Amino acid sequence: MAATGLGQVISWYICTVVAFVFVVMRMAVKLKNVSTLSLDDGFLLLATACLIGDLAIQQHMWNLGMANIGGASREEFIGIMQMIIPGSILYVTSLWSIKIALVLFYKRLALRTKWQMIFNIMLGLLVANWLVIFFDIIFQCFPGDRRWSQDPTEQCSTKAADINYWITILTNIFSDVIIISLPISMVLNLQMPLKQRLGVAAMFALGFSVVIASCIRAYFSKLNETMLTCTVSMIETAVAIIATCLPVLRTLILGQISRVGTSSAGRHYELSSSHHARVIAQSRAKNTTYSVGATTKANESEDELVKEEASRSSEFSSIAQDPKGIEVTTEYRVFEEHRPTGQLKLDV
């Protein structure tokens, strides 16, 4: 007979492996395009490390009988309870690292805009929020052996546990909604085909599934369904990591979107650093007219697309070199031809 909860344990490994693959792909793309990693990549790597650590802790708890705590021995029960604090810290650290990584990414996209102040405030609030939850996890039931004490007078306060529960749940969901909503408003203002706009918005909207997972986890946690709580926690963290990787992996998912439009115009659509969402376009037109007597030759125009390049901060998204958007360069060359009539040839 299969061990109790084995299917859920397998799902833990699937979530971890999938999230790890997306992180590796993101790092490979960053290194290929800009040859360096940025601060948000560091936080994402930290989140992935915490996810792997959380997997190891949950595996250990399952080995001790977490799927059937009522049937665990006293020693096994103590071993399970000892893993609650490090497991909770890794879970919270992983989620908050992802939140900070996303805000840093948005902050880099919104250089020299009023959003910088908003993102700085958001970063400060996230760090302060993490510190509050971190110390509350440690000291809500201190010393730690009170968690498995059989003496009613020494057992942890249920009121303190409820406070930690609501602080973690409410701040987690509320911050997720704010962080996920910010880039969607930027993307909706992009001047790009509807299909591409919806595709980019969908990548950010995937984050709302993280909010749903947070609500489901809160429900099972309140019912003291330990196994289901651990399973949903792994799903929540893995989806959050994947959603954070998608903006960088957009070219692999959506394909090259820089060459669109008609044969007479080309545009490159990105989240600009000088605006939250705008078209980055650069066009160079060359018009040549030969004036010999009354003869005029047809105009010839050629457009060049703006190519992606790394900024000083090694940011992955494209930054327009000309904030005005469109640059038109016209060359005039005048030279004299040796003709009997003495006419001049004008090359425009």
> What are the domain boundaries of the chain?
6-254, 258-348
pLDDT, residue 269, reads 39
Residue 16: C-alpha distances to residues 9, 82, 167 (Å): 11, 23, 26
pLDDT, residue 158, reads 85
Tens place of pLDDT for every residue, the chain, 348 residues? 457 889 999 999 999 999 999 999 999 999 988 889 999 999 999 999 999 999 999 999 999 999 988 888 999 999 999 999 999 999 999 999 999 999 998 888 777 778 888 899 999 999 999 999 999 999 988 888 888 887 777 888 888 888 989 999 999 999 998 888 877 666 666 566 776 666 666 666 677 888 899 999 999 999 989 999 999 999 999 999 998 898 888 766 555 544 443 333 333 334 443 444 343 344 444 443 333 334 333 333 222 222 333 343 334 334 444 444 455 555 555 555 555 544 444 444
CB under 8 Å to 120, separation ≥6 — which residues?
A: 107
Q: Is the separation of the CB atoms in 105 and 314 below 8 Å?
A: no
Residue-wise pLDDT for 336-346, tens only, equals 555 554 444 44
pLDDT, residue 333, reads 55
pLDDT, residue 72, reads 86
CB under 8 Å to 51, separation ≥6 — which residues?
A: 16, 19, 20, 90, 94, 234, 237, 238, 241
Between CA 172 and CA 179, with CA 177 as vertex, the angle to 5 degrees is 90
CB under 8 Å to 138, separation ≥6 — which residues?
A: 85, 89
- Which one, of 27, 83, 75, lies nearest residue 230 by Cα? 83
pLDDT, residue 271, reads 44
pLDDT, residue 47, reads 97
- Which one, of 301, 198, 314, 325, lies nearest residue 257 by Cα? 198
Q: Is the separation of the CB atoms in 80 and 66 below 8 Å?
A: yes
CATH of 6-254, one of 1.20.1070, 1.10.10, 3.40.50, 3.40.190: 1.20.1070
| Both structure tokens of 230 | 């651990």
pLDDT, residue 173, reads 93
CB under 8 Å to 10, separation ≥6 — which residues?
A: none
Q: Is the separation of the CB atoms in 146 and 155 below 8 Å?
A: yes
Kindly provide the residue ranges of all beta strands, DSSP E only, lying in the chain, ordered along the sequence.
Answer: 268-270, 278-280, 333-336, 344-347
Is pTM beyond 0.75? Reply is no
